[in-house]
Structure 1
């Protein structure tokens, strides 16, 4: 019980637990799973994953470090949003217009510039991704922070991928100005942004 509380575990199990002929208890096997969304609170565990990644690639390790929910898919349009529902809806829009999502990347609420930059770099570095659709609703998350993170990620990676951003909410006008000044596609309607992301792939 203490392990479950201290480490945000989904499961702590000893199975089987046997009693020997001498009445000793022996745990023959055990299993612990940690909530991915809580890993940002347990950097010691993240470090252990980095040193022993097993079946995780570099992108998945980075996503876990920042507490993102990231699923790599086989399409060619990167999808990034804040909130599982919005990110899933963004994938549905891309599919509606004939596109193929290459990722489910949920950066969560309250994302700042550094978190946005780290998330977008994951998608920018993937050679199979041809365009990126970013769908952000700024409540706690501030739109100008999001825009600044997007710009910095592009500059630091030197990527020329086409990026289409639907950005509405808190400090929306400031965010729009940053994106427009840096030549990044800005939209207030997520249908329009998704459609342009699909068209960018079709015309490439």
Structure 2
């Protein structure tokens, strides 16, 4: 699960991580109160930040929600010392469409603004924490190249990214924090302030069951404070039951409606841009299915993993989700009968097709226990199935029926 920057900073603040003061608003009528609170704290320069689940906000473009051809504002993050400018930026951002390199051309509607303290600083850094699956350890990455896409740094100047792996048996150690500080070239007060900062940041990552914690940029202020100027946090969905306060941050407006609907039925669904709907059991098999569809000349319209129990209910719900995408012209069902027998899957598919009224071609490939019995059941069902005996044949058949 992803959360907004202002929510990530609320979370980090609980763990003692230094962040800017700021207030989230959803209506322009809330702006005066936010400004008054900041001024009461002695703040006289401000940043207006669009809140969407995408990066590149500062370099994005704001378009009129009613006339998307009309450019309203360059940039979804604006710094100013002028209160009138704060109001101008807020009016142009809130309710309009922000397009960044991560949103695609359709962009995302800005429904929340974060009005924060504007800081003077002398250096931008990068810090990120995530799991390195290759070694089964958390890794802290740091770079002197803050404020730019870390992917670009990794591609063009990988030597500028420092990495420290954390042994889960002993946890993050102070000497590793010092190793990062030395690697970033920090000295004096900035060095001393970085050590507790990174220790608290890692603690926040672990304690919240985060899957990603990224600070870009992390800034060194003119008086050598270390501040998280931006914050991105993703969380392990399977651990959210332990963190109801974080689960409450979920913003359904930022998620695909079909993915939300699929989650109600415990289906793992991700919408893609193709025209071949995929219904598969197992994430690895789903990835292989999408690959072979592309090799056959087709384009997968989704990732859909129905899990180990492919029965009538899960298959019927899977059909409903897939058919909600108007781009889908055919469906490929690829099920391996291990936990569940293929003949039971076949009966579930037959019953589901009758219930849902599927009107586009369906290609079915079942492999595993009782696969031949299942194929015979499908052929004798009287329904419009194309039955394949191999994954290659299934991919070729589904791309052929689309034409």
Q: TM-score range by the shorter chain?
A: 0.7 to 0.9
CA distance in 2, matches of 1:34, 1:175: 40
Query: Which structure 2 residues correspond to residues 54-69 of structure 1 after superposition, within 5 A?
Result: 54-69=253-268
Render the CA deviation track for 1:120-179: whole Å, top value 9, x for unaligned.
221123221001111111000222332233223322332211010110112324422332
Greater helix percent: which structure?
1
Query: Which structure 2 residues correspond to residues 96-135 of structure 1 after superposition, within 5 A?
Result: 96-135=295-334
Q: Specify which structure has the bigger relative contact order, considering alpha-carbon pairs within 8 angstroms and separated by 6 or more residues.
A: 1
CA separation of 1:96 and 1:153: change in aligned 2, threshold 3 A: same
Unaligned runs of 5+ in 2: 1-205, 214-230
**Partner-residue secondary structure (3-state), 2:346:** helix
Q: Tell me how large the CA RMSD over aligned residues is.
A: 3.4
* Structure 1 consecutive aligned stretches of length 4 or more whose deviation exceeds 4 Å: 1-4, 9-12, 30-34
How many residues align? The count is 183
CA distance in 1, matches of 2:343, 2:336: 12
Render the CA deviation track for 1:49-103: whole Å, top value 9, x for unaligned.
9x96212343212221233221111111111211111111111111111111111
CA separation of 1:170 and 1:195: change in aligned 2, threshold 3 A: same
CA distance in 1, matches of 2:252, 2:370: 39
CA distance in 1, matches of 2:348, 2:307: 15
Quote the residue 1:187 is aligned against: 388
CA distance in 2, matches of 1:166, 1:149: 14
Name the TM-score, length of structure 2 as normaliser: 0.39
1:33 to partner: Cα distance: 4.8
Query: Which structure 2 residues correspond to residues 1-204 of structure 1 after superposition, within 5 A?
Result: 4=209, 10=211, 33-36=234-237, 38=238, 53-180=252-379, 181-183=381-383, 184-202=385-403
Render the CA deviation track for 1:99-129: whole Å, top value 9, x for unaligned.
1111111122233331122112211232210
CA distance in 1, matches of 2:364, 2:276: 13
Contact 2:331 2:398 in 1 (8 A): yes
Q: Which protein is bigger by CA-based radius of gyration?
A: 2
Q: Which moved more, 1:190-199 or 1:165-174?
A: 165-174
Quote the residue 2:226 is aligned against: none
**Partner-residue secondary structure (3-state), 2:359:** coil
Contact 1:69 1:105 in 2 (8 A): yes
**Partner-residue secondary structure (3-state), 1:91:** helix
